Amino acid sequence: MKIAILPGDGIGPEIVAQACRVLEALRSDGLPVETEHGVLGGAAYDRHGEPYPEATRRLVHAADAVLLGAVGGPQYDKLDRPLRPERGLLAIRKDLNLFANLRPALLYPELAGASTLKPEVVAGLDIMIVRELTGDIYFGQPRGIAVNELGEREAYNTMRYSESEVRRIARVAFGIAMKRSRRLCSVDKANVLETTEFWKEIVTDVGREFPEVELSHMYVDNAAMQLVRNPKQFDVMVTGNIFGDILSDEASMLTGSIGMLPSASLDENNKGLYEPSHGSAPDIAGRDLANPLATILSLAMMLRYSFNRDDVATRVESAVKKVLAAGLRTADIYQPGCEKVSCTAMGDAVVAAL
């Protein structure tokens, strides 16, 4: 198992360090893990002058899977767009063809009180958002800021999807639905946008290959509302890049803490990049306060999806559940009556629970 480790920026290095300790513990138990570190985002800009340098490109192409912390920070906001950390993230996704982004929103019973929604609305919540990650308005050409015929500046981006792009993400989503409750909701804005009217048509067509899955369709504005009104109506949701970006942040917060949620971005052969769903939290970076659990759970997703090791993945997830049950909490998920711990102490506890 050749794993490229990209700690990134902000709290990235701290949370990734804890995930690496978990990996180390698994290695000493005989898991054939080989790791190599590289840079991405602001850290890469600082060292190489670009957010996705050639050395990193070579490293991740040679690896079987990639573990990423987070990228970005205010010190990079003034850089030219192509040099910004976020561009490094978009570049690695595109370069490795990681078109399938899986973002679970799972509520741990111990953390039910952390949600801003009523406990009865979120208890037992378990949604999987499947977000297309390498197309849509994120990558569509033409794009830019230019002066128009009237001499006024204007800006434009292009929302576009090809049939094959929609088909392959739909197949992934139906496949995941088959392994869960066989319900899939495809999210679009087909009442206004041709791109997503087309999306709906192709997803419906792919659905004919999966007659056991009950497919529904929902407009994105309604989906945003339904997610806070009655989130448990959803099981697997599939949507395009921009809607998925927005809805997955919304869904993550239903669980009370984005600090708990992992994600996987996969290519056609299940090679993947795994990262927490949260960002680089520059405000708390370097203070040993961050929650490493989303990163540790991302590692579990890696073991499951890229290395087909459900057994080891479950072992890691059980260790996380154990430390939560024991009442350990980083600041972001702290509630009175629990024990507030640092990022490192949380890592210690997970390793011990393993």
Active site residues: 138, 189, 221, 245, 249
Name the residue nearer to ligand IPM (CB basis): 240 or 256. Answer: 240
CB of 255 to ligand IPM, least distance (A): 16
Residue 86 interaction partner, one of ligand IPM, Mg ion, none, beta carbon < 5-8 Å per kind:
ligand IPM
Name the residue nearer to ligand IPM (CB basis): 112 or 247. Answer: 247
Does the protein bind Mg ion through residue 245 (CB under 5 A)? yes
Pick the stretch among 32-40, 56-64, 85-93, 317-325 that binds ligand IPM (CB under 6 A). Answer: 85-93
Pick the stretch among 24-32, 33-41, 237-245, 307-315 that binds Mg ion (CB under 5 A). Answer: 237-245
CB of 248 to Mg ion, least distance (A): 7
Does the protein bind ligand IPM through residue 250 (CB under 6 A)? no
Pick the stretch among 26-34, 52-60, 82-90, 285-293 that binds ligand IPM (CB under 6 A). Answer: 82-90
Place of tokens 């078109």: 99
Residues 60-79 that bind Mg ion (CB under 5 A): none
Residues 335-354 that bind ligand IPM (CB under 6 A): none
Does the protein bind ligand IPM through residue 86 (CB under 6 A)? yes
Residue 267 interaction partner, one of ligand IPM, Mg ion, none, beta carbon < 5-8 Å per kind:
none
By Cβ distance, which residue is nearest to Mg ion?
245
Taking CB under 6 A as the criterion, the residue among 64, 126, 245, 250 binding ligand IPM is: 245
Query: Residues of 158-180 as b/e, b for ≥16 C-beta within 10 angstroms?
Result: ebebeeebbbbbbebbbebbeee
Name the residue nearer to Mg ion (CB basis): 291 or 346. Answer: 291
Point out which residues bind ligand IPM (CB under 6 A).
Answer: 86, 89-90, 245
Point out which residues bind Mg ion (CB under 5 A).
Answer: 245
